[in-house]
Amino acid sequence: MEPLLKIKNLSLYIEKRGKKTKILRNISYNLYPSQTLAVVGESGSGKTLSALSIMNLLPKNAQTEGEILYKGKNLLSFSQEKMRQLRGNKISMVFQEPMTSLNPVLTIGRQISETITTHKKISRKKAIEKSANLLKRVGLSDAERRLNDYPHNFSGGMRQRVMIAISMACLPEIIIADEPTTALDVTVQAQILNLFSKLRKENEMSLILITHNMAIVSQYADFVVVFYGGMIMEKGPCEKIFASPLHPYTKALLDSLPGIGRRKIKLTTIEGMPPNFEEETGGCPFYPRCKFAFEKCAKNLPPEFEVETDRRVRCWLLTAEKCRDVRKSFDNYL
Amino acid sequence: MKPILEAKNIVKKYPLKKPNPFVKRRYFTALDNVSVSLGKKEILSVVGESGSGKTTLAKVILGLEKPQSGSIFIGGENLNLLGGPKQKNKRRKIQAVFQDPYSSLDPRMKIEDIILEPLQITGESKEKQRKILYSLLDKMSLAKSHLGKYPHEFSGGQRQRIAIARALAVNPEIIIADEPVSSLDISIQAQILNLLLELREEFNLSYIFISHDMAVVYHISDFVAVMNNGEIVESAPSKDLFENPLHPYTKILLESVPKVGEKPRNIEIKANADNASEFCKFAAQCPKYSANSCRKEILLKDIGNGHYVKCARTEGKNND
């Protein structure tokens, strides 16, 4: 099957006071139709920036290299005008903070119907009707009346649902959801995630889910991409990553998760700090915090090893005899 | 064992805006007859969704909000009956750690001043204060070189550690932690949770831990109190509550938690205004609603083993 979205060797630089810093390094992944792809990693690992580059919403001082192919066309070369036709129509995004991403001085109805009238040839009245339907689908009761309310009349969970309604307004092919449920209560979180998977099945929509909640990933994702220090450390089908994480970082991420039903006396922590982008060492960015690191890791950046089809891991532990001992201890640890 | 902190029958109401000047003022009840008790070295978690009154309870216990009725006992003494300076001395035993370490530290104060500030009221000599400061730094794995820095120079996890150091400076017995890890990354979250557990052993601390993350609550707590609409609907030892939840709301809460390796469940909470009952605030959303039992007065029931539940549909002794 042809991928709907193909990110090829994407690198991103941010220029500040004449100094160029490389934030994303050679990111590649594919998104297939009606797939849920989860992007996980710590804050500052480049998850959000990689999503923003798909939407072409990067800050002015950012420069990109590489390609983002949507149906074979490179989004990075699109003009603003062309991009505007795509945003909200074919690709839409749900931002992290529902509190700040809605316009406080416009009614909810106006904000939802705006998306529809911009992209479809449809009358204002029809668009308002459609908006009411959308609100019903995201589970807001009394939709017609609520269309005339302003964002401040809504609670956090309701605002997030409004954001989701806006993102689905034109039945896009791809929705990028950046931590859509971090600010929400668990009960609301479950409802919103179920809504996403329902919509995905009904409309054959693809979802890029950016999150750091591994439990959500295991339940909803088909494919997982693990970010660290602006690089993809491991990527593969969801079940395989959870059954046998191959990168020490993925493993540590799964271990530090408190879980119900398996109480541990002490949670495993990842010691040390997330990497600083300004100093490039040439080695693996996870090297200073890795329990299994050896000399090679400090100097040479590991390439992406293809372990199976569809599964790639950036770690020297996966190579040859030279590091068999380390490899052994890693296996025991697993 | 005697509890070191007890809150009894706390009621806190906030006045609502009057729609016009001639109607009687109405009130929003944030806490409705809430009682909790905390033993030495215990961790009591308070869970519930936003708006259920968790934070209000913390504020009342800290003395930041004055309740309409109810009293707070520290070490068996009623704070309401104690005079100013004595009450202050007792209050010093309770300290707080807040959710967002980005806004709970003054951006214009150096770390040194932030941690020393509470020490100044203790009346210790300057040298002693320094000594305490250094030992706290050591505990929080912060370096002496950090002292002259400002909060913005630190990461989220480090800031939360500074906030904890500040809370520990006056040697408290009880820490009230209001969502202390929810704004942190998972790996950092694990560090802070481990630190809190270590500190409990070292300083004989008790915690009231407020959170909406059930997995974190399961990991850390001895007792759990579930709040809904300003009431405690169920409270039990942690293990009991997770293995045998009795209140319908607790069940929904536990089922909503995503778990690694399980298929998502379809949870829908449907509100049905017809079912509203003056005796049970959850009735309108309750999947187990029945007109016969839910419209009568509901008392907190004792299931045994320290497990209490407030639901008409659960069997058990009445407790008053």
Size of interface A-B (CB pairs under 8 A): 123
What pLDDT shows up at residue A322?
Answer: 44
- Which of residues A232 and A262 earns the better pLDDT score? A232
What pLDDT shows up at residue A206?
Answer: 92
Is the CB of A16 inside 8 Å of chain B's CB atoms? no
Residues of B in contact with A43 (CB under 8 A): 156, 185
Mean pLDDT of chain B: 84
User: In the predicted model, what is the mean pLDDT of residues B175-189?
Assistant: 83
Q: Quick check: A325 pLDDT over 60?
A: no
Per-residue model confidence as pLDDT tens digits over B88-123: 888 888 999 988 787 888 999 999 999 998 888 877
CA proximity to B97, closest of B219, B183, B35: B183
Mean pLDDT of chain A: 84
What pLDDT shows up at residue B317?
Answer: 52
* Predicted ipTM of the assembly: 0.71
Q: Which residues 138-157 on chain B approach chain A with CB closer than 8 angstroms?
A: 155-156
Residues of A in contact with B271 (CB under 8 A): 141
User: In the predicted model, what is the mean pLDDT of residues B150-161?
Assistant: 85
- HEC sequence for A232-277: EEEEEEHHHHHHCCCCHHHHHHHHCCCCCCCCCCCCCCCCCCCCCC
Distance of alpha carbon B318 from alpha carbon B320, whole angstroms: 7
The answer to whether residues A226 and A249 touch, using CB atoms and an 8 Å cutoff, is yes
Which has the minimum average pLDDT: A67-71, A219-223, A321-325, B78-82?
Answer: A321-325
The pLDDT confidence band at residue A278, using thresholds 50, 70 and 90, is: low
Is the CB of B102 inside 8 Å of chain A's CB atoms? no
CA proximity to B288, closest of B236, B251, B242, B317: B251
What pLDDT shows up at residue A321?
Answer: 46
CA proximity to B92, closest of B183, B169, B12: B169
Which has the minimum average pLDDT: A228-232, B59-63, B291-295?
Answer: B291-295
Per-residue model confidence as pLDDT tens digits over A11-43: 999 888 888 888 888 899 999 988 999 999 887
Residues of B in contact with A273 (CB under 8 A): 155
Is the CB of A268 inside 8 Å of chain B's CB atoms? yes
Residues of A in contact with B193 (CB under 8 A): 258, 267
Residues of A in contact with B197 (CB under 8 A): 266
Chosen for mutation from B187, B192, B211, B212 (greatest number of chain A CBs closer than 10 Å) is: B187
What are the structural domain ranges in chain A? 5-90+172-333
Q: Quick check: A261 pLDDT over 60?
A: yes
Q: Do B215 and A215 touch (CB under 8 A)?
A: yes
Which has the minimum average pLDDT: A1-15, A150-164, B13-27, B301-315?
Answer: B301-315
User: Residues of chain B with pLDDT > 70: what percent?
Assistant: 91
Q: Do A155 and B185 touch (CB under 8 A)?
A: no
A5-90+172-333: which CATH number, 3.40.50.300, 3.50.30.30, 3.90.79.10, 3.50.30.60?
3.40.50.300
User: In the predicted model, what is the mean pLDDT of residues B70-96?
Assistant: 84
Q: Which amino acid is at A93?
A: M
Q: Do A186 and B256 touch (CB under 8 A)?
A: yes
User: In the predicted model, what is the mean pLDDT of residues B46-67?
Assistant: 87
What pLDDT shows up at residue B33?
Answer: 87
B115 SS3 class: helix
Per-residue model confidence as pLDDT tens digits over A125-174: 999 999 998 888 887 777 888 888 898 888 777 888 889 889 988 889 99
Nearest CA-CA distance, residue A55 and chain B, Å: 25
Per-residue model confidence as pLDDT tens digits over B40-51: 899 999 998 877
Distance of alpha carbon A42 from alpha carbon A46, whole angstroms: 9
